[in-house]
Chains A and B, each alone.
Chain A
C-alpha cells in the first residue's frame, strides 16, 4: 500500500464510523434542540492531514452518504461538505488555521448557512426558519466541543500511520 493510501483508508474508516455515529447516537443528543455534526468535524480535521483532493473526495462521499441515509436531496450535504473542505484547504494556512479545532467553528457556521441557502433554493426551507439561528449559534459550538475530543484521537490514528509508513 502506498505511503499516502493507508492514512486515507483509516480516514475513510473513521468517516464511516462518524456517519454511523451521526445517524444513530449524535442525532439523539440534543442541546436546546440542536445536534452536533460529527461528520463536518471529521471532514475539517481530516483535511489537516490528508491531501486536498483526498479530503475533498472524503467530504463529498460522506455528505453523499448522509444524504442517502437522511431526508435531504441527494447531493445537498455532499455539496455542503465539499465546499467546507475546500474552504478549509484553500483558505486555511499557518496564519488562518482552519483545519484545526478553532477552524471547526467558522466552517460549521458556513455549513449551516450553506445548507439553509440550498434548502431555500430547492424549496425545502423557509426564509423565516427560526431554527437557523439556533443551528448557526449552537451547532458550531457543539462541533467545536466534539473537535476537542476527536482531534487527539484522529492525530494518533492518521498521523501515526503516516509516520509508520514513512519508516
Chain B
C-alpha cells in the first residue's frame, strides 16, 4: 500500500526531479568547459535536435525574411522620403554654397582689379540689380559718379559693355554683344579695327578696312581708345580671319562669359567716351551703326 501510495503521489517524483536539477546545475555552473558531463549532454542534444532545427530553419527563414521585409517596408519608405528631403535640402545648399564661392571669388578679383585700375581711372563697384532686355541694371547712378559712356568690366577685368543710361541712383549697361556702336580695337601686331555686337552672347563682329594679309586664330583684341580706354581685353579669334578684298570681316569670341550671371561689375570712370574714332576711315563702317554715343 505504501509503495503504491508513493508511486501515485507526485510529490516524491517532484522532490527527486528537483534534486536532480540542482545536481545538474551544480555540475554545469562552469559552462566554459565542454569536456564535462554537461558538455557531452549538450553535444548530444545538439546532434539530436540539430538536423530537425536546420530543416525547420530552412522552411522558416524565407517566411521570416518575407515578414521582416514587409514589416520594414513602411519604415524604408519613410526613410527614403526623409533621405529625399535631405538630398533636396543639401542640393539647394550646395547650389547656394557654389554661388557664394563664385561670388566670393568674384569679389576677391574685384578688390584686386579695383586696386589696379584705381591708379589710372576712378572705379566704382556696382551691384547688378537685374537684367532687362539684355541690358544690365546697376544700383549706382549719377549721384555716385556714373555717367553715360562709362566702360563696364566684370570681376575678371574683362570688358562687358558701357553705360548707356544713367539716372540719379541707377544706371543701365548695354552689353558689348548688343552694342551697335563700334568700338575701336587693336591686335598685338598693331592692326586696328572695329568691333560691335554680333547679336549673340558668344559673338562679336570685327571689321578692318586696312590692308592686311590675315589675322591668325588666337589673336587677342584689346581696346584702342575711343569709346573705351586703351588696353582692355575684348576677345579673340578662334579661326584665321582672311581678307575679302581690302577688308577683313569676321567673328571675335568675347573674352567675358556673357552666359554667366553677373553679381557685381566695375564701372570705369573713363571720361573720354565721346572721343571720335578717327583711326578708321568712316567709309568702311555702315553709316547707320557708327555713332559716338548709344542712344544719345
Which residue numbers of A lie inside 8 Å of B, CB to CB? 19-21, 23-25, 28, 52-53, 55-57, 60, 63-65, 67-69, 71, 73-76, 78-79, 82-83, 86, 89-90, 118, 122
- For the complex, what is the distance from the CA of A86 to the CA of B21, rounded to whole Å? 14
A78 to chain B, nearest CB (A): 5
Q: What residues of B have a CB within 8 angstroms of the CB of A82 in the complex?
A: 14, 17-18, 21
Between A and B, 7 residue pairs with Cβ closer than 8 Å are A19-B49, A23-B49, A53-B7, A56-B13, A67-B28, A73-B24, A79-B18
For residues 5 through 39 of chain B, which have their beta carbon under 8 Å from a beta carbon of chain A? 7-8, 10-11, 13-14, 17-18, 20-25, 27-29, 31, 38
User: Which among B23, B31, B60 is the interface contact of A24 at CB below 8 angstroms?
Assistant: B60
Which residue numbers of B lie inside 8 Å of A, CB to CB? 7-8, 10-11, 13-14, 17-18, 20-25, 27-29, 31, 38, 41-42, 44-46, 49, 52-53, 56-57, 60, 64
Contact B57 A75 (CB under 8 A): no
Q: What residues of B have a CB within 8 angstroms of the CB of A53 in the complex?
A: 7-8, 10, 13
B29 to chain A, nearest CB (A): 6
Q: What residues of A have a CB within 8 angstroms of the CB of B29 in the complex?
A: 73, 122
A96 to chain B, nearest CB (A): 16
A19 to chain B, nearest CB (A): 7
* Known interface pairs A19-B49, A23-B53, A68-B41; A89-B24 also in contact (CB < 8 Å): no
User: Which among B13, B23, B25, B31 is the interface contact of A52 at CB below 8 angstroms?
Assistant: B13
- For the complex, what is the distance from the CA of A62 to the CA of B241, rounded to whole Å? 100
Contact B49 A20 (CB under 8 A): yes
* Known interface pairs A28-B64, A60-B17, A74-B41; A79-B10 also in contact (CB < 8 Å): no
User: Which among A19, A56, A68 is the interface contact of B10 at CB below 8 angstroms?
Assistant: A56
Beyond contacts A69-B45, A118-B25: 16 other A-B pairs, Cβ-Cβ < 8 A, are A56-B10, A60-B21, A65-B45, A65-B49, A67-B24, A68-B41, A69-B46, A71-B31, A73-B25, A74-B42, A75-B23, A75-B24, A75-B28, A82-B17, A83-B18, A89-B10
Contact A52 B10 (CB under 8 A): yes
A16 to chain B, nearest CB (A): 8
- For the complex, what is the distance from the CA of A39 to the CA of B56, rounded to whole Å? 17
Contact B17 A56 (CB under 8 A): yes
Contact B21 A78 (CB under 8 A): yes
B5 to chain A, nearest CB (A): 13
Contact B56 A25 (CB under 8 A): yes
Q: What residues of B have a CB within 8 angstroms of the CB of A71 in the complex?
A: 31
* Known interface pairs A24-B60, A25-B60; A75-B49 also in contact (CB < 8 Å): no
Contact A24 B53 (CB under 8 A): yes
Q: What residues of A have a CB within 8 angstroms of the CB of B42 in the complex?
A: 68-69, 74
B166 to chain A, nearest CB (A): 76
Q: What residues of B have a CB within 8 angstroms of the CB of A86 in the complex?
A: 10-11, 14
- For the complex, what is the distance from the CA of A57 to the CA of B16, rounded to whole Å? 10
- For the complex, what is the distance from the CA of A19 to the CA of B41, rounded to whole Å? 16
Contact B25 A20 (CB under 8 A): no
- For the complex, what is the distance from the CA of A64 to the CA of B25, rounded to whole Å? 10
Nearest B residue to A23, CB-CB: B53
- For the complex, what is the distance from the CA of A44 to the CA of B13, rounded to whole Å? 17
Contact B22 A75 (CB under 8 A): yes
Q: What residues of A have a CB within 8 angstroms of the CB of B53 in the complex?
A: 20, 23-24
Contact B17 A69 (CB under 8 A): no
A103 to chain B, nearest CB (A): 16
Contact B25 A75 (CB under 8 A): yes
- For the complex, what is the distance from the CA of A4 to the CA of B128, rounded to whole Å? 101
Q: What residues of A have a CB within 8 angstroms of the CB of B27 in the complex?
A: 74-75
Contact B56 A74 (CB under 8 A): no
